[in-house]
Amino acid sequence: MDDVLLSPREQRILAEMEEMLRRGETPDRRPRSPRPRPGGVRGLLLPAGVAVAFTASAVLMGLATTTGRPAFVWAFAGAWTTTLAGLTALVVRWCRRWAASRPDA
């Protein structure tokens, strides 16, 4: 088997995990995901985008109902679809955060 070189930090973490497993202990927390979680400005882009899409949908719905033009109706349909997709992504994100924050998870 090929040798894999680990950084000193990775070697220390691996040694701590091996020692804990030798003692028969289970880890207090799950290993962290290598994927960064959205935070800061990136974490606010989706809610802000959904808010903008919702506002655009409301305006286009008003224009579509008052004028009856097919262009406004189709624009409303597109904006509403985008809003629903963003809301679905937000609900999935919130559910995952809720599941990760539960102590028995």
pLDDT tens string 20-79: 888 877 666 665 555 555 566 677 899 999 999 999 999 999 999 999 999 999 999 999
Q: Quick one: DSSP state of residue 23?
A: T
Give the ranges where the chain is alpha helix by DSSP (H): 8-22, 40-67, 70-101
Global confidence as pTM: 0.58
Q: Are 75 and 60 in contact (CB under 8 A)?
A: yes
The dihedral of CA 94, 98, 101, 105: what is its sign?
negative
